[in-house]
Structure 1
Amino acid sequence: MTLIKSISGIRGTIGGASGDTLNPLDIVKFTSAYATFIARNAKADHRPRVVVGRDARISGEMVRSIVCGTLLGMGFDVVDLGLATTPTTELAVRHHNADGGIIITASHNPTQWNALKLLNSEGEFLTAADGAEVLDIAAREDFVYADVDNLGSYTTDNDFDSCHIKGVLDLELVDVEAVKERKFRVCIDAINSVGGVILPRLLDALGVEYTILNGEPTGRFAHNPEPLEKNLQGIMSEVKKGGYDMGIVVDPDVDRLAFISEDGTMFGEEYTLVSVADYVLGHTHGNTVSNLSSTRALRDVTLRHGGQYFASAVGEVNVTTKMKTVNAVIGGEGNGGVIYPASHYGRDALVGIALFLSLLAERKQTLTELRATLPEYFIAKNRIDLTPDTDIDAILLRVKEMYANEQVTDIDGVKIDFADKWVHLRKSNTEPIIRVYSEASSMDEADNLGKKIMKIVEEMV
């Protein structure tokens, strides 16, 4: 069983001993530490206020009740959204003029996992420095609870989904009428979580006909919830039967998005962001950002439209920070995460779906036709298992020195950019491994590049 405390929050498996898993005592401690941090920076015009939302995990109600109760005990006003996506909760923080937010979700992790994702007053994930401060407060247990006359208040907002959907439909580049005219027919896999609640409402508003798989928000995931091809055979088979324009897949908290082409094949998770960016850049001149492990296709599309591409360290907060620095008009991560600042600085599958449908309506293309217009790359993902006492930083430094004549980026591990391919090595924050991602114009070439670097590393150990 596992408990992982990091600058982005706390996550772990449910059940077991305190300190070893995500259990009530640790939930109280970490929520208290977060509340203490937020109170130091809270707005002066009201009592500290935090928005809470959760995905449909089996453990979600248990965790939610502890989180909300702890916040009340700290003297906070709580706005409980109930079942809500991660981007819905992010937007609700700003809407309710709150000082922060807690999203109860383990994202794409299996059902036995849960987590607390922590937001600031902008509805964005905490910076590394702020996250480190929360961890320090938790370690010292430096928090004080409110007396009986100063306990917080509890309110619910059970329909903020409506505000989220309206915000998506109101985006300038979401062409609602054009989408309605196309009369799309789609199949959705909502993984038995909150996507089954909000996506039908979005598609109804867009005039899209749909069949939904795994739509009941029971939290009993029908398959591994990470939206990868190996986990999506059910929806791929359904779309392949015919009669659909596409398939739409989200993860349990609806911040990642993948598409299935009309022939039942994967459109490509990396190409969710690339295609949406191609559409946005066709209407809005500007720059783009993705993390170092994302496809080079975004760079190519950005240059095609006259913009500049920038890479960030892996992690959503690193992407959004870089986007603000370079004034990017679109960005995200190759795992199907679309970040569109015209809406908000957070990965949002609803925004991605609406922009993608607008793109298809504008170009009058099928997904296979659209995919053929985009640069073709393949990414191979490997890992090197090491012992806990291996000096991974020293290994990465030696690799960097070996390839000093190539374009090397070291803001997050070591990425080596060759003329027609790249390889990225970065250490895991939770286990003694090096992740090795490589990209080239064919899968064989990408895999061979990754394994060549892996052999070099293994000879160093």
Structure 2
Amino acid sequence: MGERLFGTDGVRGIANKELTPLLAYRLGRAGAHVLSENHRRPTIVVGRDTRISGDMLEAALIAGICSTGANVLKVGIVPTPAVAYLTRHFGADAGVVISASHNPVEYNGIKFFNSEGFKLPDAMEDEIEALLEDCDDRIKSPTGPEVGKVFSEDGICPYAEFIKSIANRDFTGIKIALDCANGAAYKIAPLVFRELGAEVFVINDCPDGCNINVNCGSTNPEVISRFMREVRADVGLSFDGDADRLIACDENGEIIDGDHIMAICADYMKSRGILKNDTVVATVMSNMGFEVALKNRGIKTLRTKVGDRYVLEEMLKGGYNLGGEQSGHIIFLDHNTTGDGILTAVKLLSVMAESGKPMSELRNIMKVYPQVLVNVKVKNKSGYIENRKIKEAIEEAEALLGENGRVVVRPSGTEPLIRVMVEGEDEKVINELALRLADVIREELS
């Protein structure tokens, strides 16, 4: 089938062009077969975000699942991490979410969870992919009463109760501004924080199928920064389209990214003896200032490739309970098996409420080193690995920075981009180096 279909976060593509209803149907058949081979009539939870293509792909995916004899629990529009939780809550054999997270509306995706709510390992995804071309021949197609059925369940209430149970206190007296990205958080996030006692102000909570992530949400943090200053909130919380990531801001509108959030929560958890092995797992994209701040507090940082699945793998391997990404995917493994924006927000606000400190003071836990990120659109993402000129340009940049900076060049897991990140003490120098690297990559690969 050429390039691997599954990326770092499931199968993604432009809906009805790359991710077609036929492909969704086949993924439903193959996924149901691989994830539930030992069960005569397995049950699979299916949820989605607010994209207009969600109806189309959900119908096709469910048809594929039911055609194998498996039953479906439709939980409606819920965050991606809610599907991971609800799979465990309902005792289902697997879960599937239809979402392209922070990507534009024309994209959509299909991501599988196993019965424990974990994303699938590469080997299992490869097994599903291998079945796609001849799934009608290799997978059973029962008839009569053996065909699968569809049941509808409320996914919001049980997930909201789960999230509220994690808060160690209520948030009475705290004014919160929310940006729901016109996505999966639009109902549940305001509900959770109001029921926890906060005064809540909300924007981008009116999805129309086409406005998900459009000039809003965690990829546009200036929106929540501006809004929370308008309403004079104590903290701003911004989610992406499927609410698996969080970007916050303090009462002055200053951005609090995933690195800040992890540092704040790690320091709190260590002080209470609940940070396992005094270690946080981050990716190569986390700021150098994050690592320095944790080291000064006796906390070790482990780095992985970009992608919360790789963070999770390292957490499971080493027995750690906190990890995440600068982009706001944070995993609290004591509570959920994937990045969870609303859960992360509850954890962050719990630290604020218990400490009695304003978010601006908590934010000062780390000094941010200047960091420049340039995205280069290319035709062949893997071409940079063996390209001599690109390798020489990277080595030259690293030599110039020495021990006072870093260079990270990597392909996007979901888009035709090479991402160039340069970090160091001198902002002018790193800007020049990043643009120089981007020009070399563009010339060589475009």
Where does residue 315 of structure 2 map in the other structure? 323
How many Å separate the matches in 2 of 1:417 and 1:227? 34
Letter in 2 for 1:150: E
Which of 347, 367, 375 is matched with 1:383 structurally? 375
- Is the Cα–Cα contact under 8 Å of residues 169 and 176 in structure 1 kept in the other structure? no
1:79 aligns with 2:73: yes
How many Å separate the matches in 1 of 2:412 and 2:284? 15
Change (3 A) 1:116 1:226: farther
- Is the Cα–Cα contact under 8 Å of residues 227 and 249 in structure 1 kept in the other structure? yes
- CA offset digits 1:234-253 (Å, max 9, x no partner): 43332223521121110111
| Structure 2 unmatched ranges of 5 or more | none
Letter in 1 for 2:36: A
1:156 aligns with 2:149: no
How many Å separate the matches in 2 of 1:12 and 1:252? 16
- Is the Cα–Cα contact under 8 Å of residues 190 and 249 in structure 1 kept in the other structure? yes
Where does residue 435 of structure 1 map in the other structure? 419
Query: How is 1:333-348 mapped onto 2 (pairs within 5 angstroms)?
Result: 333-348=325-340
How many Å separate the matches in 2 of 1:278 and 1:400? 39
Change (3 A) 1:269 1:325: closer
Q: CA deviation at 1:341?
A: 0.8
TM-score, structure 2 normalization: 0.88
Q: CA deviation at 1:200?
A: 1.4
Q: Taking every aligned residue pair, what percent have the same amino acid on both sides? A: 24
Where does residue 248 of structure 2 map in the other structure? 259
How many Å separate the matches in 1 of 2:441 and 2:26? 40
Query: How is 1:32-47 mapped onto 2 (pairs within 5 angstroms)?
Result: 32-40=29-37, 42=38, 44=39, 47=41
Which of 366, 371, 396 is matched with 2:358 structurally? 366
How many Å separate the matches in 2 of 1:389 and 1:296? 26
- Is the Cα–Cα contact under 8 Å of residues 217 and 241 in structure 2 kept in the other structure? no
How many Å separate the matches in 2 of 1:201 and 1:291? 32
How many Å separate the matches in 1 of 2:324 and 2:227? 29
How many Å separate the matches in 2 of 1:104 and 1:389? 25
Where does residue 100 of structure 1 map in the other structure? 94
How many Å separate the matches in 2 of 1:222 and 1:153? 30
Q: Aligned with 1:263: secondary structure? A: coil
- CA offset digits 1:353-402 (Å, max 9, x no partner): 11111111233222222222323223211134555498422137973898
Q: Aligned with 2:357: secondary structure? A: coil
- Is the Cα–Cα contact under 8 Å of residues 274 and 297 in structure 1 kept in the other structure? no
How many Å separate the matches in 2 of 1:389 and 1:200? 39
How many Å separate the matches in 1 of 2:175 and 2:322? 27
Q: Which has the higher contact order (CA 8 A, sep 6+)?
A: 2
How many Å separate the matches in 2 of 1:223 and 1:325? 34
Which of 222, 225, 235 is matched with 1:246 structurally? 235
Change (3 A) 1:94 1:387: closer
How many Å separate the matches in 2 of 1:67 and 1:86? 16
Letter in 1 for 2:28: T
Corresponding pairs, count: 437
Which of 56, 59, 62 is matched with 1:65 structurally? 59
How many Å separate the matches in 2 of 1:289 and 1:400? 30
- CA offset digits 1:292-340 (Å, max 9, x no partner): 2222344234323323211112222211010111221210111111100
Q: CA deviation at 1:98?
A: 1.7
Query: How is 1:241-320 mapped onto 2 (pairs within 5 angstroms)?
Result: 241-283=230-272, 284-285=274-275, 286-320=278-312
Q: CA deviation at 1:120?
A: 1.4
Where does residue 27 of structure 2 map in the other structure? 30
Change (3 A) 1:403 1:11: closer
Between 267-276 and 49-58, report the one with greater CA deviation. 267-276
| Structure 1 unmatched ranges of 5 or more | 408-415
Q: CA deviation at 1:343?
A: 0.3
Between 383-392 and 349-358, report the one with greater CA deviation. 383-392
Q: CA deviation at 1:212?
A: 0.8
Where does residue 410 of structure 1 map in the other structure? none
